[in-house]
């Protein structure tokens, strides 16, 4: 793995890979053949000569990580998984981009073994890789074993294209990676100068190398050969140099020719996202020395050689296991910490640590969340997170835990800087590495990170987003900072839980339930103080069901359904309605998706058929009609706010207890 060795069988394996890429796209009639063809020698070099991996155990903890940020070139990864002996067959390649196949258009984590993360939206993979690198540094520093450090010191390889480098998320993440001196990260930039619209010079003329040097990265240039093909020897030297860890992440700017060596399609935008055509595929195979009339041709000798990487991986894995046993016997304390990073949360310990608040006390839920985090962090090393430059405001600052930095990778406070999108994608990388990460910003800025949030949900990762300043209650900062449509928009993301707690005790319960479920979630928290309106035990039980009765009568005439800061308003209105002989139930619904999971009998108990429902939330109204039906109404906000004191703004927008009472009198 340390010296470069490349022979005719390697050349034949690469030729076979290029032809398989062309065939797979041609068979289905759509896809991205050009990049997979030009990247074939690069990916083969990494998987065969450099990557520490064991195809028989894709989840081996001692493995390196390979991230294909240029996700549309998924064949680049699938073909190497096939060649290396992962559970991916030739038939899987033949079913590329078809229903129920193991080879979907873009790599999907949890769907295809050997895929480390779901990529597709360009640039996400780069930020995921930064998260991998950060997680590896954090675990190594926390375990703190000099003798066995190599067992937990993976190299993170990320393969990206022009599109990835143009997306803003990659710039945010790369800037942070340079600042943090993540020298375990190697980003290989496929500079083929072609995108969908044509030559990248139409819109992209900067010096990427100079940009990355300014970020604090080591930069290595690998020009292509005179015939247009990738210079594998130079790339091997560049990777070997990058693996030496000189205190900086490394960018390898690698020149290639898209669709090489297709005689007519190479170096054209048509090769980016379209099948080459039967004639062009056949002509390409002739140049590669393959039978132009044979589809999905396998060179058995070349395949057999490529499959030997599985033997090398198994040997490395066995040696790793032997040293792991030695570590356990010689350094039991540090080994116990290593073992902790592969364990699940101790929920009993978590539950015993949670703070509680007395009824009537006034606490902003963002502050309650901060108290929960500070109580939880000492119980486990799995929790790691921070904020996009708002740690004090978001309540994500952990006292006496230090800052995660190049001087202290064991620090627990990650300073993401004002990089919301990268923060979300980095959190996904941290979670994929086995941590339980969290990250905070204002709820209104969740729009900046929505692409990463959606991928958290798609991959079902245990990422917790801490979104504070959740309504017009933040007041004077004005409409640019007052989220109106955000709660509804985030609730539309499948497999994503938005929890808007009513008080401090519901906030505790929200954190506990999120950790218990290990689900992707977002906490929407108040800037302003809110009265504690529910006992801690009641909150734990109720929040787990998504909605529950916080106040009830035998025969209600109306149901007041509220979330977050509006629950206390509903309780006030309920008390006033009682004086008018209008008996009401008050329901707190911190999480609509968890409520929707409950049995129909429970849902009918909370929202009984035939009883009018008034939904109350300081945000967009549309989604609430699902719960109030045609007989109820929604008190919400379907316009932008304004810069004013919270009470003045609420009055101007008709968001008051009197408004609730008026609506109840009309419906009861």
Closest CA to 342 of 494, 188, 152, 470: 152
Closest CA to 560 of 585, 534, 532: 585
Pairing of strands 584-588, 548-551: antiparallel
Rounded Cα gap, residues 310 and 451, in angstroms: 35
Q: Find out whether the peptide bond into 33 is cis, omega within 30 degrees of 0.
A: no
In this structure, is residue 342 part of a structural domain? no
Q: Tell whether 231 and 354 lie within a shared domain.
A: no
Q: Nearest 5°: CA angle at 416, between 415 and 417?
A: 95
Residue 306 tokens read as 């490529």
Cα–chain center distance at 306 = 32
Q: How far is CA 115 from CA 110, 285, 608, in A?
A: 7, 28, 46
Cα–chain center distance at 371 = 25
Q: How far is CA 187 from CA 217, 237, 250, in A?
A: 10, 15, 6
Confidence of residue 4 (pLDDT cuts 50, 70, 90): confident
Q: Tell whether 552 and 529 lie within a shared domain.
A: no
Q: Tell whether 525 and 551 lie within a shared domain.
A: no
Q: Report pLDDT digits (tens) over 26-64.
A: 999 999 999 999 999 999 999 999 999 999 999 999 999
Q: What is the mean pLDDT of residues 492-514?
A: 98
What is the chain's length? 668
Last residue of a domain, one of 515, 537, 559: 537
Q: Tell whether 183 and 269 lie within a shared domain.
A: yes
Rounded Cα gap, residues 617 and 472, in angstroms: 11
Residue 102 tokens read as 């193991």
Cβ 404 vs Cβ 435: under 8 Å? no
- Domain containing 517: what range? 347-537
In this structure, is residue 174 part of a structural domain? yes
Residue 20 tokens read as 């398989």
Residues whose CB falls within 8 Å of the CB of residue 241, separated by 6 or more in sequence, listed in order: 220, 250
**3-class secondary-structure state, position 584:** strand
Confidence of residue 224 (pLDDT cuts 50, 70, 90): very high
Q: Tell me how crowded residue 312 is: count the other CB atoms within 10 A of its CB.
A: 17
Between the two ends of the chain, the Cα-to-Cα distance in Å is 77
Closest CA to 405 of 143, 184, 179, 246: 179
Q: Report pLDDT digits (tens) over 605-617.
A: 999 999 999 999 9
Q: Find out whether the peptide bond into 50 is cis, omega within 30 degrees of 0.
A: no
Rounded Cα gap, residues 437 and 428, in angstroms: 8
Closest CA to 481 of 653, 654, 642: 642
CATH number at residue 195: 3.40.50.970
Q: Report pLDDT digits (tens) over 353-404.
A: 999 999 999 999 999 999 999 999 999 999 999 999 999 999 999 999 999 9
Which residues on neighbouring strands pair with residue 521, listed in sequence order?
A: 464, 497
pLDDT at 263 over 90: yes
Confidence of residue 133 (pLDDT cuts 50, 70, 90): very high
Rounded Cα gap, residues 223 and 117, in angstroms: 29
pLDDT at 2 over 80: no
In this structure, is residue 267 part of a structural domain? yes
CATH number at residue 581: 3.40.50.920
Q: Nearest 5°: CA angle at 127, between 122 and 132?
A: 135
pLDDT at 473 over 80: yes
pLDDT at 7 over 70: yes
pLDDT at 1 over 50: no
Rounded Cα gap, residues 429 and 127, in angstroms: 7
Q: What is the mean pLDDT of residues 444-460?
A: 98
Last residue of a domain, one of 287, 313, 339: 313
How would you class 5 by CB atoms within 10 Å of its CB: exposed for 0-12, middle for 13-18, buried for 19 or more? exposed
DSSP code string of 428-441 = HHHHHTT-EEEEEE
Cβ 156 vs Cβ 67: under 8 Å? yes
pLDDT score at 457: 98
Long-range contacts of 202-210 (CB under 8 A, 24+ apart): 203/166, 204/162, 204/165, 204/166, 208/165, 208/251, 208/253, 209/251, 209/253
Residue 30 tokens read as 């759509």
Residues whose CB falls within 8 Å of the CB of residue 45, separated by 6 or more in sequence, listed in order: 232, 235, 236, 239
Q: Tell whether 388 and 417 lie within a shared domain.
A: yes
Q: Nearest 5°: CA angle at 665, between 660 and 666?
A: 100
- Sign of the four-CA dihedral 555, 558, 562, 568: negative
**3-class secondary-structure state, position 519:** coil
Residue 527 tokens read as 């800037």
Each residue of 511-522: b (16+ CB within 10 Å) or e? bbbbbeeebbbb
Q: Report pLDDT digits (tens) over 399-416.
A: 999 999 999 999 999 999
**172 given a catalytic annotation:** no
Q: Nearest 5°: CA angle at 252, between 250 and 258?
A: 150
Cβ 67 vs Cβ 107: under 8 Å? no
Last residue of a domain, one of 537, 554, 569: 537
In this structure, is residue 417 part of a structural domain? yes
Rounded Cα gap, residues 32 and 271, in angstroms: 7
Q: Tell whether 529 and 550 lie within a shared domain.
A: no
Radius of gyration of the chain (CA): 28
Closest CA to 518 of 443, 456, 425: 456
> What is the total count of domains within the chain?
3
In this structure, is residue 528 part of a structural domain? yes
Pairing of strands 362-364, 185-191: unpaired
Q: Tell me how crowded residue 347 is: count the other CB atoms within 10 A of its CB.
A: 11
Which residues on neighbouring strands pair with residue 353, listed in sequence order?
A: none
Rounded Cα gap, residues 103 and 515, in angstroms: 32
Q: Tell whether 64 and 43 lie within a shared domain.
A: yes
Q: Tell whether 522 and 555 lie within a shared domain.
A: no
In this structure, is residue 529 part of a structural domain? yes
Q: Tell whether 507 and 567 lie within a shared domain.
A: no
Residue 664 tokens read as 């109840």
Residue 298 tokens read as 């396998």
In this structure, is residue 614 part of a structural domain? yes
Cβ 191 vs Cβ 220: under 8 Å? no
Q: Nearest 5°: CA angle at 509, between 504 and 515?
A: 130
Catalytic residue, from 167, 280, 420, 617: name it: 420
Cα–chain center distance at 76 = 22
Closest CA to 79 of 13, 123, 126, 11: 13
In this structure, is residue 646 part of a structural domain? yes
Instruction: Give alpha helix (H) positions in 354-476.
Output: 365-376, 391-394, 420-432, 450-459
pLDDT score at 67: 98
Strands (E), 416-534: 436-442, 464-468, 497-499, 521-525, 529-531
Confidence of residue 3 (pLDDT cuts 50, 70, 90): low
Helices (H) then strands (E): counts for the chain? 27, 20
Q: Tell whether 550 and 527 lie within a shared domain.
A: no
Eight-class DSSP state of 47: I
Rounded Cα gap, residues 409 and 381, in angstroms: 13
Q: Nearest 5°: CA angle at 245, between 244 and 246?
A: 105
Q: What is the mean pLDDT of residues 507-527?
A: 98
Cβ 446 vs Cβ 148: under 8 Å? no
Q: Tell whether 245 and 373 lie within a shared domain.
A: no
Q: Tell whether 198 and 76 lie within a shared domain.
A: yes
């Amino acid at each position: 793995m340390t010296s470069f060795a490349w022979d005719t069988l390697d050349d034949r394996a690469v030729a076979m890979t290029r032809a398989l890429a062309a065939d797979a796209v041609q068979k289905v009639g759509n896809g991205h053949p050009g990049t997979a063809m030009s990247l074939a020698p690069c990916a083969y070099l990494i998987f065969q000569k450099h990557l520490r991996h064991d195809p028989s155990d894709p989840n081996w903890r001692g493995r390196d990580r390979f991230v294909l940020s240029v996700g549309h070139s998924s064949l680049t990864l699938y073909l190497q998984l096939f060649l290396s002996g992962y559970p991916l067959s030739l038939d899987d390649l033949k079913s590329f981009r078809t229903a129920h196949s193991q080879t979907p258009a873009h790599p999907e984590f949890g769907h295809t073994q050997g895929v480390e993360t779901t990529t597709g939206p360009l640039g996400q993979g780069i930020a995921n890789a930064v998260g991998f690198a950060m997680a590896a540094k954090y675990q190594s520093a926390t375990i703190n074993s000099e003798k066995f450090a190599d067992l937990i010191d993976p190299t993170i390889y990320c393969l990206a294209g022009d599109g990835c480098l143009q997306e803003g998320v990659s710039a945010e993440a790369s800037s942070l990676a340079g600042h943090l001196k993540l020298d375990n990260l190697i980003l290989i930039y496929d500079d083929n100068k072609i995108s969908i619209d044509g030559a990248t010079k139409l819109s992209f003329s900067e010096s990427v190398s100079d940009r990355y040097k300014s970020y604090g990265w080591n930069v290595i240039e690998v020009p292509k050969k005179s015939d247009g093909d990738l210079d594998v020897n130079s790339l091997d030297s560049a990777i070997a140099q990058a693996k030496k860890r000189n205190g900086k992440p490394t960018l390898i700017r690698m020149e290639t020719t898209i669709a090489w060596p297709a005689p007519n399609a190479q170096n054209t935008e048509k090769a980016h996202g379209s099948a080459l055509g039967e004639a062009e595929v056949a002509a390409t195979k002739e140049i590669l020395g393959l039978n132009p009339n044979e589809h999905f041709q396998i060179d058995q000798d070349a395949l057999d050689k490529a499959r030997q990487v599985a033997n090398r991986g198994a040997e490395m894995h066995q040696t790793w296991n032997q040293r792991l046993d030695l570590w356990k016997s010689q350094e039991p304390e540090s080994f116990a910490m290593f073992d902790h990073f592969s364990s699940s949360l101790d929920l009993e310990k978590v539950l015993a640590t949670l703070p509680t608040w007395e009824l009537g006390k006034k606490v902003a839920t963002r502050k309650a969340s901060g108290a929960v985090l500070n109580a939880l962090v000492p119980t486990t090393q799995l929790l790691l997170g921070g904020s996009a430059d708002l740690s004090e405001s978001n309540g994500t600052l952990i006292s006496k835990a230090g800052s995660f930095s190049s001087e202290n990778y064991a620090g627990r406070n990650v300073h993401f800087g004002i990089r919301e999108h990268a923060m979300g994608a980095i959190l996904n990388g941290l979670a994929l590495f086995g941590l339980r990460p969290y990250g905070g910003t204002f709820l209104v800025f969740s729009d900046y990170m929505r692409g990463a949030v959606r991928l958290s949900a798609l991959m079902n990762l245990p990422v917790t987003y801490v979104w504070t300043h959740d309504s017009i209650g933040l007041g004077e900062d004005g409409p640019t900072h007052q989220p109106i449509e955000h709660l509804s928009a985030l609730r539309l993301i499948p497999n994503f839980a938005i929890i808007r707690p009513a008080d401090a005790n519901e906030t505790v319960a929200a954190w506990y339930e999120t950790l218990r479920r290990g689900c992707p979630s977002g906490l929407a928290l108040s800037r302003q103080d809110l009265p504690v309106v529910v006992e801690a035990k009641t909150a734990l039980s109720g929040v787990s069901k998504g909605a529950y009765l916080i106040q009830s009568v035998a025969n209600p005439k109306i149901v007041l359904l509220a979330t977050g800061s509006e629950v206390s308003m509903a309780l006030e209105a309920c008390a006033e309605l009682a004086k008018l002989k209008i008996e009401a139930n008050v329901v707190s619904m911190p999480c609509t998706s968890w409520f929707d999971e409950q049995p129909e009998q429970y849902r009918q108990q909370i929202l009984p058929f035939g009883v009018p429902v008034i939904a109350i939330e300081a945000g967009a109204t549309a989604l609430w009609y699902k719960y109030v039906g045609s007989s109820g109404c929604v008190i919400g906000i379907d316009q932008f706010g304004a810069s004013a004191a919270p009470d003045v703004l609420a009055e101007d927008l008709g968001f008051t207890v009197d408004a609730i009472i008026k609506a109840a009198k009309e419906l009861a």
